[in-house]
Amino acid sequence: MKLQRRIRARSSSSDTASAAFSFPSVGQILHLGVSLGIILAADKLLKHAFAVAAIKFPSALFGMFCVFSVLMVLDSLAPSAAASLMSFFEPATLFIQRWLPLFYVPSLVVLPLAVRDIPAASGLKIFFILVGGWLASLAVAGYTAIAVRRMVKTEMIPAEPMTKPAPFSILELWVWTAIFVSSFVLALINPIALGTSARTCLSFLLAATVLGYMVGSWLPSDIRKVFHPIICCAVSADLAATAYGYFSRTGLDVVLGYYLTKVSSNPGAGDILMGFLGSVIISFAFSMFKQRKLVKRHAAEILSSVIIATIFSLYSTAIVGRVIRLEPALTVSILPRCITVALALSIVSFFEGTNASVTAAVVVLTGLVGANFVQAAMDKLSLNDPIARGIATASSAHGLGTAALSAKEPEALPFCAIAYALTGIFGSLLCSLPIIRQSLLLLVG
């Protein structure tokens, strides 16, 4: 009933509706398509080039360094050119920011397949590392930031304002509902012409995921504390897969297999969503450049906290995994638990015998724990400084924790955004070094 009242309130207020959504012009659509297309194309070209050259370093991270370097050079030589470049790519960065949580969802949707062969005892051990490790990483990052801040005694300066994407409108909800219903019915009534494949299920599974995210974002805040929009859209996609599996008699496992095929020639809805993860990393360059003055002024607090928290996260996970006798392959799979999914998957690719689905699921679940409990935990730990709160949140719960904190503590958001990017960058750089990988494997056993 609360959700219905909120939807009616949105649709009845023309001012709210126009603020939430307006039909884009042809020029705006082209601008978004070109700017986003360039980022996607750059990510794809870099992936191909790195694969051909057999380079294991994350290609998107290299792309991010290149974009950031270009912006910094232009800013020193021709500031107007740097500003124009930022303005040109703003529609793409806002698009990525608006839909960012969706790119994490596929790992949760296919979680029933990923955990099927994991014993219950191992699952409990992973959960223990996930929750305990999140709290420990939060404390390490936060207290490190406070200690360094007391030493350097740098006064805070106002951050650059961060543009927020428009909320979802009732019109968008009806459009995606129509896409879901029509594609679901078509897939059921015309199985001979379409066949049962990832392509058959792609449209309605993608629409179900998007619808779940929209509805989840409209839930009251007290409900979102236990039923995050990411959980809502994962449940929505699983329900759609269950319904199609039942009516088509193909079964849930088959349909979930079509959701995330990991085959470029036959992609599913999850593959489409995860295809944006590289672009997310490249887009970090724009957010870091926008807050370059803040990074420079508070470099000591930010860098020291991120470096110490990332090292602690990786090595404590390896040590605790061995102490509680978690299977080595699973321990290695969850090493990057505090790093954003896009780079966590790149990190585990450095190691052999890992389970990428478990990696992605643990990273997302860590973010969900942080999103729900990070403020209460920091209050209990007396982490009251905005810099410490922002860094601690991002270093322990990456993007989902950042999103949860941003709505209530805007003064901490810039530090969240910076630490969110730098934690993934530094973790990837560390694990790209053979000596670090070998030391982690030695600890894991």
In this predicted structure, the answer to whether residue 323 has a pLDDT above a threshold of 90 is yes
CA 133 from centroid of its chain's CA atoms? 19
Nearest partner of 392 among 407, 377, 372, judged by Cα: 377
The residue type found at 268 is G
Q: What band does 10 get if pLDDT is binned at 50, 70 and 90? A: very low
With 0-12 / 13-18 / 19 or more C-beta atoms within 10 angstroms meaning exposed / middle / buried, residue 167 is middle
Q: What is the mean pLDDT of residues 197-214?
A: 89
Q: What band does 406 get if pLDDT is binned at 50, 70 and 90? A: low
Quote the pLDDT of residue 375.
85
User: Whole-angstrom Cα distance, residue 62 to residue 105?
Assistant: 25
* Other C-beta atoms lying within 10 Å of the C-beta of residue 107: 25
Q: Which residue would you say has higher pLDDT here, 180 or 193?
A: 180
Q: What is the mean pLDDT of residues 368-385?
A: 87
User: Whole-angstrom Cα distance, residue 267 to residue 272?
Assistant: 7
Residue with tokens 């961060």: 162
Q: What is the mean pLDDT of residues 48-77?
A: 89
- Using alpha carbons only, give the angle 344, 349, 355 rounded to the nearest 5 degrees: 80
Q: What is the mean pLDDT of residues 308-313?
A: 94
pTM recorded for the entire structure: 0.81
**HEC sequence for the chain:** CHHHHHHHHHHHCHHHHHHHCCCCCHHHHHHHHHHHHHHHHHHHHHHHHHHHCCCCCCHHHHHHHHHHHHHHHHHHHCHHHHHHHHHHHHHHHHHHHHHHHHHHCHHHHCHHHHCCCCCHHHHHHHHHHHHHHHHHHHHHHHHHHHHHHHHHCCCCCCCCCCCCCCCCCHHHHHHHHHHHHHHHHHHHHCHHHHCCCHHHHHHHHHHHHHHHHHHHHHCCHHHHCCCCHHHHHHHHHHHHHHHHHHHHCCCHHHHHHHHCCCCCCCCCHHHHHHCCHHHHHHHHHHHHHHCHHHHHHCHHHHHHHHHHHHHHHHHHHHHHHHHCCCCHHHHHHCCCCCCCHHHHHHHHCCCCCCCHHHHHHHHHHHHHHHHHHHHHHHHHCCCCCHHHHHHHHHHHHHHHHHHHHHCCCCCCHHHHHHHHHHHHHHHHHHHCCHHHHHHHHHHHC
Nearest partner of 130 among 308, 270, 330, judged by Cα: 330
Q: Which residue would you say has higher pLDDT here, 150 or 6?
A: 150
Q: What band does 8 get if pLDDT is binned at 50, 70 and 90? A: very low
Nearest partner of 321 among 337, 310, 307, judged by Cα: 337
User: Whole-angstrom Cα distance, residue 129 to residue 139?
Assistant: 15
User: Whole-angstrom Cα distance, residue 290 to residue 155?
Assistant: 19
Phi-psi region of 416 (alpha: psi -120 to 50; beta: other; left: phi over 0): alpha
Q: What band does 386 get if pLDDT is binned at 50, 70 and 90? A: confident
In this predicted structure, the answer to whether residue 14 has a pLDDT above a threshold of 80 is no
In this predicted structure, the answer to whether residue 99 has a pLDDT above a threshold of 80 is yes
Half-sphere exposure of 296 (CA within 13 A, CB side): 6
Nearest partner of 333 among 315, 316, 354, 347, judged by Cα: 354
- Out of 186-190, 212-216, 286-290, the most confident range is 212-216
Quote the pLDDT of residue 315.
95
pLDDT tens-digit map of 243-283: 998 888 888 888 888 898 887 778 889 999 988 988 988 98
Quote the pLDDT of residue 2.
43
Quote the pLDDT of residue 12.
42
Quote the pLDDT of residue 400.
77
Quote the pLDDT of residue 159.
61
Q: What band does 341 get if pLDDT is binned at 50, 70 and 90? A: confident
Quote the pLDDT of residue 87.
94
Asked which of 20-29, 102-111, 124-133, 436-445 is least confident by mean pLDDT, the reply is 20-29
